């Protein structure tokens, strides 16, 4: 009986052992399948994490780039606004310069008109037939040149009676232009002046002749002293070379320079500019 029971127990144990092996094998296969799935999932997870990191960096870059673009747009807007303002200022400056140029041209035109009227008046009063009196315009300035022989004797600064007749006509024109100034220039030739108790050289002679004419204009002909300027140029501004008696005679002369006051024209310009801005 005991043998039968032992045999049955051994058989049961064998059967049980065979069933456990099958379960273990199945579990191992299932475990391997799970492990493979886990490995595959881990690989996918790592790939997703890498992609997420790349996308995050790209997103940060795009955000920064967008911020830079916004700032750049703001700066461009500011620059455009500032550029427009600067352009407007430049245009305004150009308009002011154009206006100034126009005013200056108007003033110069007026000055030329005044000069032309003055020359016409002088030539009409003094006459253009006398070869010893020349009236011309250089750079907008009127010059009246009177030969030395018409005014003085050789080496003298005493004004002749004939000269007073011509100076009277000049004084009439000067008196009609009370705002003008006249510079009386004495010129000599290059023959050295020997000197006397009053005069030392040609400088003294040229200045003394200038002041002599000014005295005639003011004391005898009623010209305001404030309009006159005395000047002596000696021998140093010759018309021609002092190489002959005729040329030296041409260089001995007195020149009256009529000077319109340019300040008046600039005052006119400034006044018009101020009126334009109002």
Task: Report residue 48's pLDDT band, with 50, 70 and 90 as the boundaries.
Answer: confident
The three-class DSSP label of residue 142 is strand
User: Above 90 in pLDDT, residue 41?
Assistant: no
Q: Which residues pair with 228 in a beta bridge?
A: 182
In sequence order, the β-bridge partners of residue 230 are 184
End-to-end Cα spacing for the chain: 142
Q: What's residue 20's pLDDT?
A: 67
From 178-182, 191-195, 268-272, the region with the lowest mean pLDDT:
268-272
Residue 76: Cβ-neighbour burial (10 angstroms; 0-12, 13-18, 19+): exposed
Higher pLDDT, residue 115 or 143: 143
Nearest-angstrom CA–CA distance, 77 and 75:
5
Residue scoring higher pLDDT (14 or 198): 198
Residue with tokens 């006119």: 268
Model confidence pLDDT, tens digit, residues 118-150: 667 666 666 656 677 888 877 767 888 888 888
Q: Bigger pLDDT: 255 or 1?
A: 255
SS3 state of residue 239? coil
Distance (Å, whole) CA 84 – CA 63: 31
| Span 86-112, pLDDT tens digits | 767 777 777 777 776 776 666 666 666
Q: Which fold has domain 127-276?
A: 60s Ribosomal Protein L30; Chain: A; (3.30.1330)
> What pLDDT does 221 receive?
95
Q: Distances in Å between the alpha carbon of 123 and those of 116, 128, 227, 253, 274? A: 11, 6, 21, 18, 38
159-185 mean pLDDT: 87
Band of residue 246 on the pLDDT scale cut at 50, 70, 90: very high
Q: Mean pLDDT over residues 7-20, rounded? A: 56
Which of 58-62, 78-82, 107-111, 145-149 has maximum average pLDDT? 145-149
For 199-227, the pLDDT digits (tens) are 889 999 999 999 999 999 999 999 999 99
Domain ranges of the chain: 127-276
Average of per-residue pLDDT values in the chain: 77
Per cent of the chain over pLDDT 90 is 24
Phi then psi dihedrals of residue 273, to 5 deg = -65, -45
């Amino acid at each position: 009986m005991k043998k039968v029971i032992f045999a049955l127990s051994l058989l049961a144990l064998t059967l049980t052992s065979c069933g456990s092996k099958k379960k273990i094998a199945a579990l191992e296969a299932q475990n391997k399948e799970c492990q493979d799935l886990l490995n595959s999932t881990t690989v996918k997870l790592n790939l997703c994490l890498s992609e997420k990191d790349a996308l995050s960096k790209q997103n940060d870059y795009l955000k920064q780039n967008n911020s830079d673009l916004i700032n750049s747009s703001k700066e461009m807007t500011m620059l455009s606004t500032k550029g427009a303002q600067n352009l407007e200022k430049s245009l305004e400056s150009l308009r002011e310069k154009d206006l100034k140029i126009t005013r200056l041209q108007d003033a110069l035109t007026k000055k030329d008109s005044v000069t032309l009227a003055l020359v016409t008046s002088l030539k009409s009063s003094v006459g253009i037939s006398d070869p010893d009196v020349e009236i011309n315009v250089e750079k907008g300035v009127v010059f009246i040149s009177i030969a030395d022989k018409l005014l003085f004797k050789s080496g003298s600064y005493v004004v002749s009676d004939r000269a007073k007749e011509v100076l009277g006509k000049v004084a009439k024109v000067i008196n009609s232009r009370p705002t003008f100034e006249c510079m009386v220039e004495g010129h000599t030739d290059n023959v050295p002046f020997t000197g006397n108790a009053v005069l030392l050289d040609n400088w003294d002679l040229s200045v003394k002749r200038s002041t002599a004419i000014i005295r005639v204009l003011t004391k005898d002909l009623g010209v305001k002293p404030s309009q006159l300027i005395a000047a002596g140029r000696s021998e140093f501004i010759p018309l021609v070379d002092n190489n002959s008696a005729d040329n030296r005679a041409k260089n001995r002369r007195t020149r009256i320079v009529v000077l319109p006051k340019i300040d008046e024209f600039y005052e006119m310009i400034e006044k018009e500019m101020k009126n334009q801005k109002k």
